[in-house]
Amino acid sequence: MTAGGAPAPQVEVVPLGRVNSTAAQVVAANLQALLELDAMVVEPWPEPAQALVAARGQYDAGIIMQELATPQGGPLRLGLMGKDLCVPFLTYVLGESQLGGRAAVMSLHRLSEGEGGSRAPRHVMLERAAKVGLHEIAHVLGLEHCRTAGCLMRFSAGLTTLDRLHMGFCPACQRDLTRLRMDLPARAPAR
Amino acid sequence: MTTKAGNKTKNRAPMVFDMTSDECIWSKAGVVAPRLCHNAFDCLSCSFDKAIQRKRVHGWYAGGLEQPMEEYWTSANWQNTAPHKRYCRHMLTGRVPFKLCPNHYACAKCAYDQMLDDEGLAQPAAEVRLASAAGFEVPPEYYLHPGHTWARVEYGGRVRIGLDDLAARLFGPADEFRLPQLGMAVTGGGKELAFSRSGHQARAASPIEGVVVARNPRVLENPAEANKLPYGEGWLLLVEPIRLQRDLKGMHSGEESVAWMEQESQRLSDLITHDTGQRLAATGGRMVPDIYGAVPGLDWQHLVHEFL
Ligand SMILES: [Zn+2]
Ligand SMILES: [Zn+2]
């Protein structure tokens, strides 16, 4: 929150360490364009050294989200990492979120992978980043996974499935999102 | 600079959609001399805001280097602001009609501020106010570009752009939009918004120079959407602007937009009369949603050349 500055954002996109700044802007802009949330890229935080899982060379998404989460009343936060993320039971995650909570984190690390070890074009990486950002923040708002073909709330195991998803939600998810946004102020304070 | 007093569109401060104030919030709070916001309320990227915040933060954290924060707020500037003029920042940005700051602008610690932040999430999408101009619609709070596109400055200083009502109705529903990819630069005046209809091509100019940060997936999938609600769900791109002030200067807004659109409507009507040999009488009403489809004998290329 920038006290006395702009109207407070509803979502802060927080670069964690060195992060592609266009990707950060694209993620924030898509939250604004498709979820109608006031989103702002804030000053970067240092890379979360305390979340490094040395044995795996990856960062623990759960620990990062705990640091990002604001109390009820503060903005929702979406951390954006250049480094690879994991959770204890998955080899890697593109993104991870507190379902109906306060924070999410996503990584750009794998989003540039193209066919057969090549590098994907920049706009493909940015499109993937926008999709992951929307998916994770929808989870934070309380939306769960969806099985409708093409819906952005489908679980994507990897980039091929992610690329097949539309940049948008199916009508059922869209309806839920509208309701979830309405529900927010009345919800019980986060524990 | 040739700014004319009282002419809203030529002021340096951009009009921000869905915000009612154009005065810098530090100035309205009485902390600094009167000044307009020159940065579309994107305080985070505003050097002036940074300077003020630095002053607060240094005072607060590095105590002794400058004035401590508490002293800053009891300083002459603050004292000169009568208590009944210490407007809450949410009032200054038009979010609530009236509220005084009880808290020396320590918003991070303010319960009222937190409550409003919660409520903000439930706010419905802002409605677009429309005026009518000789059969076409015009949103006075948008900026209209002579090439029949619009720009709307939004939260965070991002700019949404699209085709205006004349372009939408004149060219009718498109079969395809080819829009610049995410992360690409649009040059402002470059004809980067391409669409086609039954083999005919058209390219409209982006009204704003900047980097593409979002594309409208609905329009990419169903191109005819841009034709239905050109000022709303039919938007095309969200752009992170580079030279917002300069770009907005050449555009119309408010009453000026209505007058300009009336002229354009007349010009179109003359052109149709000329192209088709069919007399058109301006009898009021609204333009049909697909002029090209409704009027036989129109030359697509000629329309593109004249209006985009
Ligand atoms: Zn998920
Ligand atoms: Zn769905």
Name the residue among B29, B44, B211 with its Cβ closest to that of A42: B44
- Residues of chain B with Cβ-Cβ distance to A32 below 8 Å are 154-156, 158, 214, 238
Residue whose entry in the numeric block shows the structure tokens 């890697």? A92
Segment B161-174 shows an average pLDDT of 96
Give B214's contacts in chain A (Cβ within 8 Å): 26, 29-30, 32-34, 130
pLDDT of residue B66: 36
List, for residues B39-81, the tens digit of each pLDDT value: 666 665 566 766 666 555 443 333 333 333 444 444 455 555 5
Instruction: Map out the domains of chain A with their CATH numbers.
Output: 11-112+119-143 (3.40.390.10)
* Distance from chain centroid for Cα A14: 10
Lowest mean pLDDT among A68-77, A169-178, B22-31, B209-218: B22-31
Quickly tell me which residue has 């924060």 as its tokens.
Answer: B69
Q: Is B165 on the interface with A (CB under 8 A)?
A: no
State the virtual CA torsion across B116, B121, B124, B125 in degrees, nearest 10: 110
Confidence (pLDDT) at A7: 74
| Contact predicate A144/A158, CB 8 Å | no
Residue of A nearest to B237 (CA): A33
CA dihedral A129, A132, A138, A144 (to 10 degrees): 170
Cβ neighbours of A73 in B, within 8 Å: 114-115, 117-118
Within 8 A of B118 by CB-CB distance, chain A residues are: 72-73, 184-185
**Predicted local distance difference test score (pLDDT) of residue B59:** 35
Q: Is B3 helix (H, G, I), strand (E, B) or coil?
A: coil
pLDDT confidence of residue A79: 98
Instruction: Please spell the DSSP secondary structure of B265-279, one letter per residue.
Output: HHHHHHHHHHHH---
CA proximity to A65, closest of A40, A94, A41, A96: A96
DSSP symbol at B166: H
Sequence-distant (6+) residues with CB within 8 A of A190 are A69, A71, A72, A101, A102
| Catalytic residue annotation of A | 136
Distance from CA of A125 to the nearest CA of B (A): 9
* Rounded average pLDDT over B90-110: 58
Distance from CA of B208 to the nearest CA of A (A): 16
CA–centroid distance, residue A165 to ligand 1 (Å): 13
Provide the shortest C-alpha distance from residue A55 to chain B (in Å).
Answer: 35
What is the structure's pLDDT at B74? 46
Distance from the B93 Cα atom to the nearest Cα atom in chain A, whole angstroms: 7
Residue among B49, B115, B117 with most chain A CBs within 10 A, to mutate? B117
Of the CA atoms within 13 Å of residue B117, those in its CB half-sphere come to 27
Chain B neighbors of A74, CB-CB under 8 A: 114, 117
Q: Is A32 in contact with B42 (Cβ distance < 8 A)?
A: no
C-alpha of residue A99 to centroid of ligand 2, in Å: 16
- Cβ-defined contact of B182 to A36 (cutoff 8 Å): no
Q: State how far residue B98 is from chain A, nearest Cα, in angstroms.
A: 15
What residues of B are in contact with residue A171 (Cβ under 8 Å)? Answer: none
Lowest mean pLDDT among A33-37, A57-61, B116-120: B116-120
Q: What whole-number percentage of chain B has pLDDT above 70?
A: 59
Is the Cβ pair A3, B41 closer than 8 Å?
no
Structure tokens at B257: 């937009």
Domains and CATH numbers, chain B: 25-119 (no CATH), 126-308 (2.40.50.100)
Distance CA B89, CA B52 (A): 15
Angle at B25 between CA B19 and CA B31, to 5 degrees: 165
CB of B145 less than 8 A from some CB of A? no
CB-based contact (8 Å) between B122 and chain A?
A: yes
How much is the pTM?
A: 0.69
The residue among A32, A125, A151 with the most chain B CBs within 10 A of its CB, best to mutate, is A32
Lowest mean pLDDT among A63-67, B89-93, B213-217: B89-93
